[in-house]
Structure 1
Amino acid sequence: MRYRLLPASDLTVSAICLGTMTFGEQNSTAEAHAQLDRALAAGVNFIDTAEMYPVPARAETQGRTEAILGDWLVRQPRDRVVVASKVAGPQRGMAWMRGGPQYTADQIVAACDASLSRLRTDYIDLYQLHWPARHVPMFGETDFDPAKEPTEVPSVYVQLEALDQLVRAGKVRYVGLSNETPWGVMEFLRLAREHGLPRPISIQNVCNLLHRGFEHGLTEVCHREDVGLLAYSPLAFGLLSAKYQDDPGADGRMTRFPEFGARYRKPHVQSAIADYARLAREHGLSPAQLALCWLMQRWYVSSTIIGATTAAQLEENLGCLDLPLDPALLAAIEAIHLRCPNPAL
């Protein structure tokens, strides 16, 4: 396993981070604990979760993932595991969470306290804002529309002040962002500098062969401002494994939850997947290995968040660090990207 120091912190994290959004929905507690044990044995010391997990988010299951993780975490040496969690922001259809999640100071503190209780720990190593409170295009949207801005949005300063409360209380070590834009990252950093508030050390955004939007602006921002990328959805909800092309009825999020993954139902996604899968097999790799190896070797990635529902998938994912891609294969990947750039953006 390779390890990296997250920028502006003392958090040394594994190049692979285990995502947990299936725990409590697609994975039972026993399966989740087996995944955690195997990942830890392989050298993974970085676990990512969120208060709204598992997905799809429902009142009946909200918080179950953190509770499952907490039952495992309490049996581990706490300083051996870097735990990241996320507080949910405003989102339609989630009135069952805190009466409608908001990034007010009271709500952020209450959400963190509830997560700590479920996780059975005194502190969270990295606490992230799950998505912006203001309107930004995300989760399949592409265009910024100021007319969609909510009427009341807690300012970035208010959000940072609330996070500062948590840091000062020792409940949170570092803070991060998720699903953010270049403007958002710069605004958080500016206000943190000007007011002596906690600076975000990381950003958790989607990045994969079908969706390389992070490279458009955010790579420069994060490089120059020393912010690490925690890349999520490396296999695009399993699509880049080509399992749905091989078997359209294959079990997975895209078949279990048809309303999911709007960004991956766009017109040119399937043809791009076919091209990447063909290239992988021509070089003796599985499509999933090609997608994961490519992402893990990108210079701007601090850690890649993998997710698996079976032991076999987890083993395949863990083995990708030992499969470097040669220059010719990387060039062939870029050729496909040039023919069909960002079909899921």
Structure 2
Amino acid sequence: MDYIDLGNSGLRVSRICLGTMTFGVQNSEAEGHAQLDRALAAGINFVDTAEMYAVPPSPESYGKTELIVGSWLKRQPRDRVVLATKATGPGRALSWIRGGPSGFDAANLRAALEGSLKRLQTDYVDLYQLHWPARNQPMFGQWQFDPAKEREATPIGETLQALAALVKEGKIRRVGVSNEHPWGVMQLVRLAEAHGLPRIVSIQNAYNLLNRVYDSGLAEVCHRENVGLLAYSPLAFGFLSGKYLDDPRAKGRVNDFAGFAQRYSKPNVAPAVAAYAALAREHGLSPAQLALAWCYRRWCVASTIIGATTMAQLEENLGAWALDLSPELLAAVDAIHLRYTNPAP
């Protein structure tokens, strides 16, 4: 396993991060612990979770993932694990989470963090992330900004001040964002530098062969501002494994949870997946191996967040780390991308 310094954080993280959002619904506590043990044995020191998990979000699944990670974490040397979690933002119908988060103000962030710390059975988190912006912006499959959807939102400077207090108390080591856009990253960096507030060190966004929106604007911004990309959904909810080509009713989140994969219901997803799967097989790879190896080696990716519901899936994810893709194969990937550009933004 290789490791990288995450931004200017002082956090040295494995180039693969174990995502845990299946723990508590699709995976039991024992299965979650087995995945965590296997990841640690493979050299992965980076674990990502969120207060909102498990998914799909519901009153029954809320907090279950952190509870499972916490019961595992308590028997590990704490400094061996770089632990990341996320605070749920406003703007979605999640009334069971703190009465429905109204913003990223001091009260909401403190309540969110203290709840996470209790479930995780730890005194601090290494990386605390805003799960999505408080302001209006396109996300989770929306593909264009709509100013008609503007809403009241906690000012970014106020959010950074609230995070600064939690950092000062030792409950957070570093801060990051998720599902962000270039304007938000630049505002966060500018205000942090102008007022001596915590500077974001990472951005956790969807990034895969079906969604390379990051390449267009965020790649330059984050490179120049030293903000590391934590790429989530490298297999695009399993679509890039090819399993839904072979069996549209295959078991997985897409079929188990109605409406959960709307980002991947757009018209060019199926032909793009078919093209990438055919390319992989032409080169003696599984579709999942191609998708993962491509993401692992992208220059702009600090760490790729993988997730699995079975140990076999986890082993395939881990095994893809050893693969190197030839320049010819990468050129063929780009050719498909130009034919089917970002079918699942």
If the length of structure 2 is used for normalisation, what is the TM-score? 0.99
| Partner secondary structure for residue 263 of structure 1 | helix
Return 5+ residue gaps in structure 1 as ranges: none
* Matched residue type, 2:290: L
Report the 3-state secondary structure (helix = DSSP H, G, I; strand = E; otherwise coil) of the residue aligned with 1:173.
strand
Q: What's 2:106 paired with?
A: 105
Equivalent pair of 1:139/1:261 in contact (CA under 8 Å): no
Q: For residue 235 of structure 1, report the CA deviation from its aligned partner.
A: 0.3
Q: Corresponding residue for 1:284?
A: 284
Structure 2 partner of 1:76: 76
Percent of pairs with identical residues: 65
Q: Distance in 2 between matches of 1:109 and 1:45?
A: 26
Deviations 1:252-279 (A, max 9, x none): 0100012112110000100000000001
Task: Using the TM superposition, give the Cα deviation of residue 91 of structure 1 relative to its aligned residue in structure 2, in angstroms.
Answer: 2.8
Which of structure 1's runs of 4+ aligned residues deviate more than 3 A? none
Can you list the C-alpha shifts for 1:21-67, whole angstroms capped at 9, x where unaligned? 00001000010000000000000000000000001111112001000
Task: Supply the AA of the counterpart residue of 2:62.
Answer: Q
Aligned to 1:116: 117
Q: Give how far 1:238 is off.
A: 0.4
The match for 2:44 is 44
5+ long unaligned stretches in structure 2: none
- In 1: Cα distance, 2:330 partner to 2:35 partner: 30
Q: Give the match's secondary structure for 1:309.
A: coil
Partner SS, residue 4 of structure 1: strand
Match of 2:245 in 1: 245
- Specify the SS of the correspondent of 1:13: strand
Q: What is the correspondence of 1:1-345 to structure 2 with a 5 Å cutoff?
A: 1-101=1-101, 102-150=103-151, 152-345=152-345
Amino acid at match of 1:314: L
AA matched with 1:45: N
- How many pairs are equivalent? 344
Once the two structures are TM-superposed, the CA of residue 311 in structure 1 deviates from its matched residue by 0.3
Q: 1:103 offset after TM fit, Å?
A: 1.1
Superposition RMSD on alpha carbons, in Å? 0.6
Tell me the amino acid that sits aligned with residue 233 of structure 1. S
| Contact kept? 1:204, 1:232, Cα under 8 Å | yes
Give how far 1:293 is off.
0.4
Once the two structures are superposed, what CA deviation does each residue of 1:277-313 show, in whole Å capped at 9, x if it has no partner?
0010111110000000001110000000000000000
Question: Displacement, 1:118?
Answer: 0.4
Cα distance in structure 2, aligned partners of 1:245 and 1:91: 34
